């Protein structure tokens, strides 16, 4: 019987893709490390060569961000990601401890379902395709509807480059007949081994409730604390570099600035001199009205847009030289738009008495939204930096760097990644910058080093030592008692 319903056609397409991916993955898993690496290098080269074209394609299709910055992200998602994992062992024996006599063997997971967002569409395809093939897995992409064309083209480029370099056909694929039913079938299918979910909170929750293992990321809502010892001009420059990069579409970008009373006016003056525009009360109210929808979710109309466009939506004039809009804020909450995640060049501005109260405010911001993700501190006081590291509910605490670029590993030595785990506090299964080693299981070969008699002897020895410790403690207590008695 011929299928005429789009949802049924899409479900059948997904099943066909999974079947082809299974066969391709089995052949891929039999390849040696050097052949896998050769394929990944070819994919990285293809991504780099097509970086600019796909950047313009993504910007035109989604209306988000800036092509020049998307080009950088595409190069990062292909070349930089590949270079960071080029020498990592992911096939066969990957670790061997001759002293403990334990050997670890990499076991690929199988077929990976990859959900791709509209904010970083083509760069995320490059990144996920490379780490999947590097770990000898097949991957099937489910595009965001708002970026389906550029995502499909990025997947086609990765597949063509990989297959030309020797990758089995079908190891990299993308759903063409895109429906909600197709995505659900991909996530729930029993022969899908893992879901890599990058996107909105609802989609990530769906991935975790699919019944299959998933690695998802929660929302980012990074506060940026400027502490009194910071180089203020440089700190402001880094925040603006980050928040304006691709118009703020990277989830690790700053969402709030927190500073201390003693340097407040200097920080404000520096933002103004570098292109920050502080909204008055009426302007802030107008911008607040367009940041979130009535449902409490981020308004997609502001995502990746310029300050001038956001001003147009809010019916307020914004000068052409303005880089970022800032609103003075004192509150935190679901109904306080400036305290929430805003994937555009808009920042909340908070002032606290000192670093201790600033620390508490940052935790309130994160616990309201963004727990487990990222925080950045600008400071030259190592003791304050360490206190922040000990207390903050984040997986990445960045120091003196642009948050968006530091979080993904472009300006720090974190693993270059476009999927940033948020750990248990953020509802994620990992707190890592996700890479190929997150996409393998480890088979452990463990040699026997003791016999049963040895275990019994160990237990007997431990019990004897424990008895001696208790006896020594008793003697010391009695001796101490006698000494205290003589003193009295």
Token pair 């097509």 is found at: 50
Which DSSP letter does residue 433 get? B
Which DSSP letter does residue 420 get? B
SS3 225: strand
Quick check: is 251 catalytic?
yes
Active-site residue among 40, 150, 167, 251? 251
Handedness of CA 124, 126, 127, 129 (dihedral sign): positive
Give one DSSP letter per residue of 126-156, joined into a string.
HHHHHHHHHTT-EEEEEE-GGGHHHHHHHHH
Q: b or e along 129-157 (b: 16 or more beta carbons within 10 Å of the residue's beta carbon)?
A: bbbbbbbbbbbbbbbbebbbebbbbbbeb
Which residues does residue 142 pair with via DSSP β-bridges, in sequence order? 115
Tell me if 64 sits within 8 A of 118, measured CB to CB. Answer: yes
Q: b or e along 205-229 (b: 16 or more beta carbons within 10 Å of the residue's beta carbon)?
A: ebbbebebebbbbbbbbbbbbbbbe
Distance (Å, rounded) from C-alpha 192 to C-alpha 291? Answer: 37
Q: What is the CA radius of gyration of the chain?
A: 27
Distance (Å, rounded) from C-alpha 483 to C-alpha 179? Answer: 83
Hey, what are 81's tokens?
């990601």
State the Cα angle at 279 between 273 and 282, rounded to 5°.
160
Tell me if 264 sits within 8 A of 255, measured CB to CB. Answer: no
Distance (Å, rounded) from C-alpha 343 to C-alpha 246? Answer: 10
Tell me if 433 sits within 8 A of 76, measured CB to CB. Answer: no
Distance (Å, rounded) from C-alpha 379 to C-alpha 30? Answer: 50
Tell me if 127 sits within 8 A of 135, measured CB to CB. Answer: no
Q: Which residues are catalytic?
A: 251
């Amino acid at each position: 019987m011929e299928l005429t319903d789009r949802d049924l056609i899409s479900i059948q397409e997904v099943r066909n893709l999974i079947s082809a991916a299974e066969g391709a993955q089995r052949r891929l898993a039999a390849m040696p490390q050097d052949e896998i690496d050769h394929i990944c290098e070819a994919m990285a080269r293809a991504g780099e060569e097509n970086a600019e074209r796909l950047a313009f394609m993504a910007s035109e299709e989604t209306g988000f961000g800036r092509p020049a910055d998307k080009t950088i992200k595409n190069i990062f998602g292909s070349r930089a990601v590949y270079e960071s994992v080029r020498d990592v062992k992911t096939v066969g024996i990957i670790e061997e401890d001759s002293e403990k006599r334990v050997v670890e063997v990499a076991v690929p997971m199988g077929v990976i379902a990859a959900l791709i967002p509209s904010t970083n569409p083509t760069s995320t395809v490059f990144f996920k395709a490379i780490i999947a093939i590097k770990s000898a897995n097949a991957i099937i992409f489910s595009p965001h509807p708002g970026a389906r064309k550029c995502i499909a083209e990025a997947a086609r480029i990765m597949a063509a480059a990989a297959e030309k370099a020797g990758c089995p056909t079908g190891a990299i694929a993308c759903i063409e007949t895109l429906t909600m039913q197709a995505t659900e079938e991909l996530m729930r299918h029993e022969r899908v081994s893992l879901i890599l979910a990058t996107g909105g909170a609802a989609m990530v929750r769906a991935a975790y409730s699919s019944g299959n293992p998933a690695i998802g990321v929660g929302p980012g809502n990074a506060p940026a604390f400027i502490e009194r010892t910071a180089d203020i001009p440089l700190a402001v420059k880094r925040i603006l570099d980050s928040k304006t990069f691709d118009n703020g579409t990277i989830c690790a970008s700053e969402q709030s600035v927190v500073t201390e009373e003693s340097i407040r006016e200097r920080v404000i003056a520096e933002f103004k001199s570098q292109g920050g525009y502080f909204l008055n009360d009426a302007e802030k109210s107008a911008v607040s009205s367009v940041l979130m929808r009535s449902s409490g979710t981020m308004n997609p109309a502001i995502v990746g847009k310029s300050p001038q466009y956001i001003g147009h939506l809010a019916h307020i004039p914004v000068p052409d030289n303005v880089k970022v809009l800032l609103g003075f804020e004192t509150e935190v909450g679901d109904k306080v738009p400036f305290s929430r995640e805003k994937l555009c060049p808009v920042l909340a501005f908070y002032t606290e008495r000192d670093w201790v109260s600033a620390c508490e405010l940052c935790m309130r911001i994160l616990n309201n939204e963004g727990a487990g993700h990222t925080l950045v501190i600008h400071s030259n006081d190592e003791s304050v930096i360490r206190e922040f590291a000990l207390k903050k509910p984040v997986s990445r605490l960045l120091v003196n760097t642009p948050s968006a670029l530091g979080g993904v590993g472009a300006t720090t030595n974190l693993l270059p990644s476009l999927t940033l785990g948020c750990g248990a506090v953020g509802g994620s299964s990992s707190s890592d910058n996700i890479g190929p080693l997150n996409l393998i299981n480890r088979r452990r070969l463990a040699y026997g080093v003791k016999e049963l008699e040895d275990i019994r002897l160990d237990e007997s020895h431990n019990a004897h030592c424990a008895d001696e410790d208790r006896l020594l403690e008793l003697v010391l207590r009695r001796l101490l008692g006698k000494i205290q008695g003589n003193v009295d």
